[in-house]
A and B are shown apart, each in its own frame.
Chain A
Amino acid sequence: MSYADSLPQAKSAVKQNTVLMQRALQQHSLMDALKYASQLLQQLRNPLLPPQRQYYELYVMVFDTLGELTLYLVQGHKRGRHHLADLYELVQYAGNVLPRLYLMITVGSALLQCNDETVPQAEILKDMIEMCKGVQNPTRGLFLRYFLSQMTKGLLESLMDLPFSITFLTTNFVEMNKLWVRLQYQGPLKERDLRTKERKELQILVGSQLLRLSQVIESEEADQEENFTVYCEKILPGILEQMVQSRDVICQEYLFDIVCQVFPDNYHLETVEQLLQATAQMNPQVSLHKIIATLVQRLIDYVEREAAPGKQGGRSLFDIFWQYLEKLGDERPDIALVEVLDLVSNVITLNNCCDPENTDNLNKLYSLLFTKCKDFAVNDEATEDTVQQQQLFVELMTFKEVKRANLIVVNCPKYTELLLSIHPRAQLQAIESLLNLFLDQSDDWVVETEDQFMKLLALCKPATALISKEGQETVPLVQQTVAKWCHALVRATTKSRQLRPITKQVQLLLSLKNALHEGTSQSVSCTYESLITLWWQLIKKCDFLRSRLPKNKSSYDTSIKQIFKYVSRCITELFNVVGPSITDRVFKLNLQTASIADQLSLPEISYDFFTQALTVFEDTLSDSRTQFQAIVYMTQILQRTRSLRTEGEDYYDNLIVRTTLHASKLLKKQDQCRAVYLCSHLWWATEIESLGETEDDAETEGQFYREGKRLLECLQRSLRSADSIMDNMQSCELMVEILNRCLYFLIYGEEAQTRVSVNYVNGLIELIKTNLNSLHLEQMAELKLDDTSSTKTPQRVLMGQDGSVLKVSKSNGAVSVVLPTAASTESVAELATIPADHFQRTCAYILQQAALDDRFKAITV
Chain B
Amino acid sequence: MSIFFKSPIDIEVLLDGEENRKHVDLFKGGSSTKTMKESLPLYEDGESIAGLVTLRVRDGRSIDHLGVKVSVIGSIDMVKTSGGNTTSTNGNSKLNSNSSLYNYDDPKKKPVDQFLCLSYDLCPAGELNHSESFPFTFKNLSKRYESYRGKNVDVTYYVKVTVMRKSTDISKAKKFWVHLFKDMTPPVREPNVQGSVTDAAGATSQTTNTPPSVLTKPVRLDIGIENCLHIEFEYSKAQYSLNDVIVGRIYFLLTRLKVRHMELSLLTRETSGLKPSNFLLDSTSIRYEIMDGSPVKGETIPIRLFLSGYDLTPNMSCNYFNIKNYLNLVIIDEDGRRYFKQSEISLYRTK
Alpha-carbon distance A598/B59, docked complex (angstroms): 166
Within residues 55 to 78 of chain A, which ones have a CB less than 8 A from any CB in chain B?
A: none
Q: How far is the CB of B304 from chain A (nearest CB, A)?
A: 7
Contact between B291 and A97, CB atoms less than 8 A apart? yes
Contact between B304 and A131, CB atoms less than 8 A apart? yes
Alpha-carbon distance A97/B309, docked complex (angstroms): 17
Q: Is B105 an interface residue when CB atoms closer than 8 A count as contact? A: no
CB-nearest residue of chain B to A186: B294
Q: Which of A95, A136, A140 contacts B287 (CB 8 A)?
A: A95
Alpha-carbon distance A135/B302, docked complex (angstroms): 10
Chain B, interface size category, equals 10 to 19
Q: Which of A92, A93, A140, A182 contacts B292 (CB 8 A)?
A: A140
Known: A89-B306, A92-B306, A93-B309. A134 touches B290 (CB 8 A): yes
Chain A, interface size category, equals 20 to 34
Contact between A134 and B301, CB atoms less than 8 A apart? yes
Contact between B291 and A131, CB atoms less than 8 A apart? no
Contact between A137 and B294, CB atoms less than 8 A apart? yes
Number of A-B contacts (CB under 8 A): 54
Q: Which of B287, B292, B304, B306 contacts A137 (CB 8 A)?
A: B292
Alpha-carbon distance A90/B308, docked complex (angstroms): 10
Known: A136-B293, A136-B294, A137-B294. A130 touches B302 (CB 8 A): yes
Within residues 293 to 351 of chain B, which ones have a CB less than 8 A from any CB in chain A?
A: 293-296, 299-302, 304, 306, 309
Contact between B292 and A135, CB atoms less than 8 A apart? yes
Specify which chain A residues have a CB less than 8 angstroms from the CB of B292 in the assembled complex: 45, 96-98, 134-137, 140-141
Alpha-carbon distance A135/B294, docked complex (angstroms): 9
Alpha-carbon distance A486/B63, docked complex (angstroms): 144
Per-position contact with A for B243-271: 1 when CB-CB < 8 Å, else 0? 00000000000000001010000000000
Per-position contact with B for A138-159: 1 when CB-CB < 8 Å, else 0? 1011000000000000000000
Specify which chain B residues have a CB less than 8 angstroms from the CB of A134 in the assembled complex: 289-292, 301-302
Known: A92-B306, A131-B302. A97 touches B296 (CB 8 A): no
Contact between B287 and A135, CB atoms less than 8 A apart? no
Alpha-carbon distance A161/B296, docked complex (angstroms): 32
Q: How far is the CB of B264 from chain A (nearest CB, A)?
A: 10
Q: How far is the CB of B133 from chain A (nearest CB, A)?
A: 43
Q: Which of A92, A98, A136, A140 contacts B301 (CB 8 A)?
A: A136
Contact between B290 and A97, CB atoms less than 8 A apart? yes
Contact between B300 and A97, CB atoms less than 8 A apart? no
Contact between B291 and A135, CB atoms less than 8 A apart? yes
CB-nearest residue of chain B to A101: B292
Q: Is B176 an interface residue when CB atoms closer than 8 A count as contact? A: no
Q: Is A178 an interface residue when CB atoms closer than 8 A count as contact? A: yes
Specify which chain B residues have a CB less than 8 angstroms from the CB of A133 in the assembled complex: 299-302
Alpha-carbon distance A622/B291, docked complex (angstroms): 98
Contact between B301 and A93, CB atoms less than 8 A apart? no
Known: A92-B304, A133-B299, A134-B302. A97 touches B289 (CB 8 A): yes
Contact between B290 and A136, CB atoms less than 8 A apart? no
Q: Is B158 an interface residue when CB atoms closer than 8 A count as contact? A: no
Q: Is B104 an interface residue when CB atoms closer than 8 A count as contact? A: no
Q: Is B279 an interface residue when CB atoms closer than 8 A count as contact? A: no
Specify which chain B residues have a CB less than 8 angstroms from the CB of A45 in the assembled complex: 292
CB-nearest residue of chain A to B299: A136
Q: Which of B290, B296, B304 contacts A178 (CB 8 A)?
A: B296
Specify which chain B residues have a CB less than 8 angstroms from the CB of A138 in the assembled complex: 293
CB-nearest residue of chain A to B310: A93
Q: How far is the CB of A252 from chain B (nearest CB, A)?
A: 18
Q: How far is the CB of B11 from chain A (nearest CB, A)?
A: 41
Within residues 94 to 148 of chain A, which ones have a CB less than 8 A from any CB in chain B?
A: 95-98, 100, 130-131, 133-138, 140-141
Specify which chain B residues have a CB less than 8 angstroms from the CB of A182 in the assembled complex: 296
Alpha-carbon distance A136/B250, docked complex (angstroms): 13
Q: How far is the CB of B309 from chain A (nearest CB, A)?
A: 5
Alpha-carbon distance A139/B284, docked complex (angstroms): 31
Contact between B293 and A137, CB atoms less than 8 A apart? yes
Specify which chain A residues have a CB less than 8 angstroms from the CB of B290 in the assembled complex: 97, 134
Q: How far is the CB of B246 from chain A (nearest CB, A)?
A: 12
Known: A93-B309, A131-B304. A141 touches B293 (CB 8 A): yes
Specify which chain B residues have a CB less than 8 angstroms from the CB of A141 in the assembled complex: 292-293
Alpha-carbon distance A100/B288, docked complex (angstroms): 10
Specify which chain B residues have a CB less than 8 angstroms from the CB of A137 in the assembled complex: 292-294
Q: How far is the CB of B183 from chain A (nearest CB, A)?
A: 26
Within residues 154 to 185 of chain A, which ones have a CB less than 8 A from any CB in chain B?
A: 178, 182
Specify which chain A residues have a CB less than 8 angstroms from the CB of B261 in the assembled complex: 97
Specify which chain A residues have a CB less than 8 angstroms from the CB of B294 in the assembled complex: 136-137
Contact between A95 and B302, CB atoms less than 8 A apart? no
Contact between A140 and B302, CB atoms less than 8 A apart? no
Alpha-carbon distance A130/B294, docked complex (angstroms): 17
Alpha-carbon distance A131/B288, docked complex (angstroms): 14
Alpha-carbon distance A97/B292, docked complex (angstroms): 7
Specify which chain A residues have a CB less than 8 angstroms from the CB of B293 in the assembled complex: 135-138, 140-141
CB-nearest residue of chain B to A90: B309
Q: How far is the CB of B163 from chain A (nearest CB, A)?
A: 47
Specify which chain A residues have a CB less than 8 angstroms from the CB of B295 in the assembled complex: 136
Alpha-carbon distance A95/B288, docked complex (angstroms): 5
Per-position contact with A for B48-75: 1 when CB-CB < 8 Å, else 0? 0000000000000000000000000000
Q: How far is the CB of A348 from chain B (nearest CB, A)?
A: 43
Specify which chain B residues have a CB less than 8 angstroms from the CB of A97 in the assembled complex: 261, 289-292
Specify which chain A residues have a CB less than 8 angstroms from the CB of B304 in the assembled complex: 92, 131
Specify which chain B residues have a CB less than 8 angstroms from the CB of A98 in the assembled complex: 292
Specify which chain B residues have a CB less than 8 angstroms from the CB of A140 in the assembled complex: 292-293
Per-position contact with B for A307-347: 1 when CB-CB < 8 Å, else 0? 00000000000000000000000000000000000000000
Specify which chain A residues have a CB less than 8 angstroms from the CB of B287 in the assembled complex: 95
Alpha-carbon distance A147/B300, docked complex (angstroms): 21
Within residues 807 to 836 of chain A, which ones have a CB less than 8 A from any CB in chain B?
A: none
- With A89-B306, A136-B293 known, 10 other A-B pairs at CB within 8 A are A45-B292, A97-B290, A97-B291, A98-B292, A100-B289, A133-B299, A134-B301, A135-B291, A140-B293, A141-B292
Question: A residues within 8 Å of B by Cβ?
Answer: 45, 89-90, 92-93, 95-98, 100, 130-131, 133-138, 140-141, 178, 182
| CB-defined A-B contacts under 8 Å, sample of 19 | A45-B292, A89-B306, A95-B287, A96-B289, A97-B291, A97-B292, A98-B292, A100-B289, A130-B302, A133-B302, A134-B291, A134-B292, A134-B302, A136-B259, A136-B295, A136-B299, A137-B293, A137-B294, A178-B296
